């Protein structure tokens, strides 16, 4: 038997195993009362804190996404276990960002620092100087991406050239502008957000391409799914929609460009609701769900958070509440008895399969984000 047949057989067996395993998990009885949701969230926190993981460094984007979820969980529940985790990691990190000042990923951790600073009564407990240094350099100084000199296939010729960046940096910039009462940061954020929007947003599908490799150019070489449709990555669009909910939550109601973000949120939310699978969880490939026909937790978690937030804040009709609760049930069914959140696609940039045993801290962050808003649903 040649290698290509063996490889194909391995993929088929993996997908079959994933499907059977998730169908079994989905049969678990999931309680939707607030006490059960809060217990599930605390179990997720405790397991993740006991099993630290990161891609590059404890201050990288994976931790940033995770601790954003922890912050929002505290905002809703006021449970001090979340605040203790936030303070412990901030002090351990010496309130530092990661080192690549041109890279949006490396300031995501500052959302948690800002949250602590805004909720800590002790003066000078939080040190936001590293965050200020990062943002001032990132937004207001030149770099190779801004200059347009990069020649890679991803076309790294704007600051936020990949859609994930719209979760990593804009909510931090927005919250920093609010905290410091300096609108120049918000204006810079809008400038770079619009660059990414104009390049990556597909107005026919109301979804974001992950980067320029996935934007159709009318060429035979355009990337397509096996069913011939465009490639739209679930977690990538989850980053954007979840980021929009975070942005709008802290953005001034009278900000002149707020309407743009509200309209974008509504367009994307309508699309995500329209393509929600019957079991409640979105597949890693949004327009080719059959490619990896099992739910995935990180993208689905961000969607659940953003959709519940929209209902709770009057941007979405309450008629969508059953869809969001169905999504939460699907997410909760992916949690192991010990608290670990499975079915998280590993670090990547396009649709790939997950499994019951695949986990990442950003998946836990998405889970906590989702729970933080589902708790508020009536």
What does R_g of the chain's alpha carbons equal in angstroms? 20
**Quick one: pLDDT at residue 152?**
87
- Inform me whether the pLDDT recorded for 13 exceeds 90: no
Taking residues 250-255, report their average pLDDT.
Answer: 98
For 145, 276, 325, 377, the CA distances from 314, given in Å and listed in that order, are: 38, 21, 17, 12
* Residue 15's pLDDT band (cuts 50, 70, 90): very low
* Active site amino acids: 164
The answer to pTM > 0.85 is yes
The percentage of residues in the chain with a pLDDT greater than 70, rounded to a whole number, is 93
CB 145 within 8 A of CB 102: yes
- Give the integer Cα–Cα distance in Å for 26 and 295: 10
DSSP string, 313-334: TTSS-GGGHHHHHHHHHHHHTT
Closest by Cα among 214, 112, 97, 206 to 154: 214
- Give the integer Cα–Cα distance in Å for 302 and 235: 8
∠ Cα 260 289 351 (to 5°): 75
- Inform me whether the pLDDT recorded for 26 exceeds 60: no
pLDDT in tens, 281-310: 999 999 999 999 999 999 999 999 999 999
> With 0-12 CB in 10 A as exposed, 13-18 as middle and 19+ as buried, what is 233?
buried
Residue 284, CB half-sphere, CA atoms under 13 Å: how many?
Answer: 20
Query: Residue ranges per domain, the chain?
Result: 28-374
pLDDT in tens, 174-213: 999 999 999 999 999 999 999 999 999 999 999 999 999 9
pLDDT in tens, 49-80: 999 999 999 999 999 999 999 999 999 999 99
CATH of 28-374, one of 1.50.10.10, 3.40.630.30, 2.40.50.100, 3.20.20.100: 1.50.10.10
pLDDT in tens, 351-366: 999 999 999 999 999 9
**Quick one: pLDDT at residue 313?**
98
């Amino acid at each position: 038997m040649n290698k290509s047949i063996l490889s194909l057989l391995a993929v088929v067996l993996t997908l079959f195993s994933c499907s059977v395993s998730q169908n079994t998990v989905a049969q678990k009885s999931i309680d939707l009362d607030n006490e059960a949701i809060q217990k599930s969230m605390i179990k997720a926190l405790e397991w993740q804190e006991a099993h630290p993981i990161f891609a590059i460094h404890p201050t990288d984007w994976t931790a940033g996404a995770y601790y954003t979820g922890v912050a929002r969980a505290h905002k809703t529940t006021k449970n001090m276990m979340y605040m203790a985790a936030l303070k412990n990691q901030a002090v351990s990190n010496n309130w530092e960002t990661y080192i690549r000042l041109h890279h949006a990923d490396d300031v995501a951790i500052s959302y948690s620092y800002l949250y602590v600073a805004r909720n800590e009564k002790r003066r000078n407990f939080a040190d936001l100087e590293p965050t200020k240094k990062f943002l001032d350099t990132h937004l207001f100084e030149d770099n190779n991406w801004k200059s347009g000199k990069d020649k890679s296939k991803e076309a790294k010729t704007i600051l936020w050239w990949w859609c994930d960046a719209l979760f990593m940096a804009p909510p931090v910039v927005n919250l920093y502008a609010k905290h410091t009462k300096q609108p120049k940061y918000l204006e810079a954020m809008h400038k770079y957000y619009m660059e990414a929007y104009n390049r990556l947003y597909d107005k026919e599908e109301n979804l974001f391409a992950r980067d320029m490799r996935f934007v159709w150019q009318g060429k035979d070489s355009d990337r397509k799914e096996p069913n011939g449709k465009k490639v739209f990555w679930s977690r990538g669009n989850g980053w954007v929609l979840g980021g929009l909910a975070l942005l709008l939550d802290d953005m001034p109601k009278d900000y002149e460009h707020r309407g743009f973000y509200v309209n974008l949120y509504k367009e994307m939310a309508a699309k995500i609701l329209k393509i929600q699978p019957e079991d409640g969880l979105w597949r890693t490939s949004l327009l080719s769900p059959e490619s990896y026909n099992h739910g995935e937790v990180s993208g689905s978690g961000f969607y659940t958070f953003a959709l519940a937030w929209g209902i709770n804040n009057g941007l979405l009709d309450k008629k969508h509440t059953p869809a969001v609760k169905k999504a939460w049930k699907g997410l909760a069914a992916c949690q192991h008895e010990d608290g670990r959140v499975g079915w998280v696609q590993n670090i990547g940039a396009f649709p790939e399969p997950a499994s019951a045993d695949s986990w990442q801290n950003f998946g836990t962050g998405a889970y906590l984000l989702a729970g933080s808003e589902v708790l508020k649903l009536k």
